[in-house]
Structure 1
C-alpha cells in the first residue's frame, strides 16, 4: 500500500488513508455483485457500472424523488468507534445521527481545499443538504447530477461521515491519533514510512451479506496491517515467505515466476482502469498540439506492438476512453471506422507527412513532465522519446518530485506535456470528466475554453437524459464518444499491461476483489491451514 499523504482525506483534497477502514460513506461497492455473490463484477480493478456502487453503508436505503434530489435514510444503530484516545472518549461510542451526516457534508462544502471543491467546484458550489426527518437527510445537486452522485453522494470526493465533536475541538482530522469513525477497523498505530495497524471494531454494525459467512458479524480479522514497502523485491520476498498474505499490482513476469514456484497460490489478472498516457496543452495557441494533425502524427509515430513487447507481450493499448472490463460501455477499436483503426497502426512515414502539413517538416522540440517515482515511469517515457525521434520530434523529459508533480497535475499547469494517469473508469466517463472544461481530469484541455469542442458537451447532455432512468440506454449512447475522441487524438496512450493479484489460500473468502480496504471486511485468515503449509 502507498504511504498516506494525510489523514483528513476529504478536507485536504488528497490521500485516502482511512477510507473504508475507519471512515464510511453513505453508499458504496455492492459486495453482493462480487465474486462471492452474483459475480457480475469481480472488483479487481474497481466498480465497472453505476449499479456496482449502490451498496448501502451509512445510508441504509436511498431514493431519488427527482433527478438531482437524493433522500437518504440513515441507518440506525451505527456507533462511533470506542477508541482509547481523547478523541474516542469525546465521542464515547454514541450513535451516529442524521445531524452528523449534515455536519460532515457542510464541513466539506465550506472548505475550499476539500476534494469536493477541488475536483468538482461547480457541482459542490450548487449542492445543499438538510435534515428532513429524524433519520432522513435530503441532498440537492442541481448541477450535473451524474457528477454530483459520484463525488457528493457515492463518495469519490472522499465524502465520508466525520465525528463533529472531534472536528470542533481539534479543527480537522489531520492527526491520526484523533481518527474516530464508524468503520470495521480502528486505527491503532501508525509508523511513518513503515505501516498502519488496525484492530477490529467490536461494535461494527455490518454483517456479511453473501457467501459462506452470510449473516456473520463483520469484520472477521482481529488485526489488519498495511505495510509500506516501496521496494518491489522486498515486497515479493515478504509474500514468498508467507509474511505478507496478499500482493497486488504485480506485473506478469513476476507473477508467473511466483505461480511457477508456488503452485498453490491463488491469482487473478486484470487491467487498471486508469491508464497512463501523454497529455498535451491544446489550449496554448503557440504550441503544436492545437493542430489535430500534430496529435495524430504522434499517435502514428507510436509503435504499440513494440510497446507490447516492452511489457512482455501482455498488454492492451485499446484502453481509452474505456477498456474492455467495462463491458457495458465498451466497443473495441476493431469496431471503429477504418480511418480510426488506421490511425492506431504504426506508420512513421504518414506521421512525417502530417507533421509537414501542419508546418513542422523537420519536427519540433517539446517537454514532458514525468514523476520521479516509480522509476519505471521515466523508462516508459523514454520508449516514447525513442519512437518519436524517428519522425523528428525531440522529447525532453522533465522529472519532478511527487509533491511538485501532483500539484502540477491537479492545477493542469504543466507547460507543454505531462505523463500521467487518465481517468478511464466508468464513473468519470459517464460524467465526461476528461472532456469537461476546467476539470482537473481534463489535462489536454478538451473543450476548454468551453465551446471549442462542443461535441462533448452535447453528448454529455444526451447521455444525461438517461442517467438513473434507463442505464442501458445511457451506456449505449455513451458509445458515440470513442470514435470521435480517438480520431481527435487528444492523448497518446501507453498500453496497459496485465496486472496480477496473488494471495495465499489461507486468506479465506478473498477472491481477488482488489486491494482496497473494504475488500478485507469479509475475509479471514485460516491459521491452521497456514501452519499446515509450513508458514
Structure 2
C-alpha cells in the first residue's frame, strides 16, 4: 500500500478486503536473464472468515489458496484427507505468557514471582495446551539476535525453568506466605483454543500445591486486548510476538510500555536505560550484547511466566508459486509481489 506492490480496491466489512496491482510499483525481478515488472498477480483477496471450521473447509476445497494459521489438530487432519496441500510448521514468533502485576501485592515481591515460576510445571502446561512447539522462546525467539540459550543462562535464572514445587513452597514461606494467598485472574470468558486454557490450568496447580486461591474475572474475547492494557487483579493470560526484540522489549517490558503491551506494569530503570541505549546502537555486536543482557534481566525479574508457542501450520496449494511457508507476521512476511497462480496446474488438479 502506498509505494508498495498493491493498492486497496475494496473493504467490505465482514466479507473481504481486496487489493489491486499498483501499476506504478518500482520493483522488478529478473528470471533467466529477463526482467519482469512486479507484482505478478493482478488482485489479492483476503476474506474475513471468523469461524475456523469455515476457514478449513475453504482451504480444503481450494477456495483459499493459502492459510497461515492452521491449528495443529486441523493440520494433522488435512494432511490425511487432503495430502496435496503443502505445509510448514511454525509459531509465528508468538509465545503464551502469564502476566503478573508487578505493582500489586503480593506480586510486587520478586521472590514471590520467582517462587511461582519455579513452582509452575511449564513443560506439562505447554504440552497439555500447545501439544507441540518450543517452550523456551521468550522474550526473544531462538535464531534472533539477543536470544540466550537456556544452558548459557546464569544459574539463578536457569533455575526458574526447573520445576520444583517443594523449593517454591519454601520460598513462599520465607516471604511470609506459608498458607498461600488469594489472587484475581483475568481470563477468557470462552475458550476457543487450547492455549487459552493456560490461565485456568495454572490457577488449579497453584491452588493444589500452594493453597493460592483464585478469583476469576472472565472477559469477552472482543474486549480482552483492551482489558489487558490495564490488567485488573493480579495476573492474566496473553501471548506476545517475540520475533522483533526492540518491539517486544519496549512494548511489553519498558516503563513507557505501560498502557501499551506492558501488562505486568513492570518498571526497572536499569532495564529502561539499557534498552534506550540498545535502540540507538548501530554496531551489531554491541547491540546484540545489550539485547542478551536485557533478555536475562527480563527473565530474572519474572514479570511474565512464559510457556512457549503453539505450532501452527502454514498450508497452501501447489499452484501457489514462489511461496515456501513464509509467515504473514510483523518480522517477515509473505512475498506477495512475487506470488503467482499456476492456473494450468490448478485446473489439472480439478479446481
TM-score normalized with structure 1 length: 0.59
Q: How many residues align?
A: 344
Cα 1:474/1:509, change in 2 over 3 Å: same
1:141-160 alignment to 2 at 5 Å? none
Q: Tell me how far apart the structure 1 counterparts of residues 183 and 27 of structure 2 sit (CA, whole Å).
A: 55
Q: Is the CA contact 1:315–1:495 (under 8 Å) kept in the aligned structure 2?
A: yes
Q: Tell me how far apart the structure 2 counterparts of residues 369 and 212 of structure 1 sit (CA, whole Å).
A: 57
Q: Which residue, out of 391, 408, 417, partners 2:227?
A: 408
Q: Tell me how far apart the structure 1 counterparts of residues 261 and 167 of structure 2 sit (CA, whole Å).
A: 31
- Tell me if 1:216 matches 2:30: no
State the Cα distance separating 1:353 from its structure 2 match. Answer: 1.4
Task: Give CA deviations for 1:338-391 in whole Å, capped at 9, x if unaligned.
Answer: 332222122222221122122221212212223446622542322212222222
Q: Which residue, out of 96, 105, 120, partners 1:302?
A: 120
- Tell me if 1:277 matches 2:93: no
SS at match of 2:168: helix
- Tell me if 1:494 matches 2:310: no
- Tell me if 1:382 matches 2:205: no
Q: Tell me how far apart the structure 1 counterparts of residues 119 and 219 of structure 2 sit (CA, whole Å).
A: 26
- Tell me if 1:455 matches 2:270: yes
1:123-522 alignment to 2 at 5 Å? 183-201=4-22, 203-209=23-29, 215-284=35-104, 287-311=105-129, 313-326=131-144, 328-372=145-189, 375-376=192-193, 378-390=196-208, 391-410=210-229, 412-428=230-246, 432-439=250-257, 440-447=260-267, 453-464=268-279, 467-468=281-282, 470-515=283-328, 519-522=335-338
Task: Give CA deviations for 1:92-119 in whole Å, capped at 9, x if unaligned.
Answer: xxxxxxxxxxxxxxxxxxxxxxxxxxxx
- Displaced runs of 4 or more, over 6 A: 210-214
Q: Is the CA contact 1:365–1:395 (under 8 Å) kept in the aligned structure 2?
A: yes
Q: Tell me how far apart the structure 1 counterparts of residues 206 and 224 of structure 2 sit (CA, whole Å).
A: 23
Task: Give CA deviations for 1:100-145 in whole Å, capped at 9, x if unaligned.
Answer: xxxxxxxxxxxxxxxxxxxxxxxxxxxxxxxxxxxxxxxxxxxxxx
SS at match of 2:216: strand
Q: Is the CA contact 2:112–2:171 (under 8 Å) kept in the aligned structure 1?
A: yes
Instruction: Give structure 2 stretches of 5+ with no counterpart.
Output: none
Q: Tell me how far apart the structure 2 counterparts of residues 306 and 361 of structure 1 sit (CA, whole Å).
A: 25
Task: Give CA deviations for 1:422-459 in whole Å, capped at 9, x if unaligned.
Answer: 35232435864433213123222222xxxxx3331342
RMSD: 2.6
Cα 1:409/1:232, change in 2 over 3 Å: same
Moved more, 273-282 or 522-531: 273-282
Highest relative contact order (Cα 8 Å, sep 6+), 1 or 2? 2
Q: Tell me how far apart the structure 2 counterparts of residues 209 and 394 of structure 1 sit (CA, whole Å).
A: 61
Q: Tell me how far apart the structure 2 counterparts of residues 215 and 237 of structure 1 sit (CA, whole Å).
A: 38
State the Cα distance separating 1:514 from its structure 2 match. Answer: 1.9
SS at match of 1:463: helix
SS at match of 1:438: helix
- Tell me if 1:531 matches 2:341: no
Instruction: Give structure 1 stretches of 5+ with no counterpart.
Output: 1-22, 25-57, 59-182, 448-452
SS at match of 1:297: helix
Q: Tell me how far apart the structure 1 counterparts of residues 71 and 34 of structure 2 sit (CA, whole Å).
A: 34
Cα 1:513/1:212, change in 2 over 3 Å: farther
Where does residue 95 of structure 1 map in the other structure? none
Task: Give CA deviations for 1:210-231 in whole Å, capped at 9, x if unaligned.
Answer: 6679742222222321112222
Q: Is the CA contact 1:246–1:504 (under 8 Å) kept in the aligned structure 2?
A: yes
Q: Tell me how far apart the structure 2 counterparts of residues 212 and 416 of structure 1 sit (CA, whole Å).
A: 60
TM-score normalized with structure 2 length: 0.87
Cα 1:373/1:184, change in 2 over 3 Å: farther
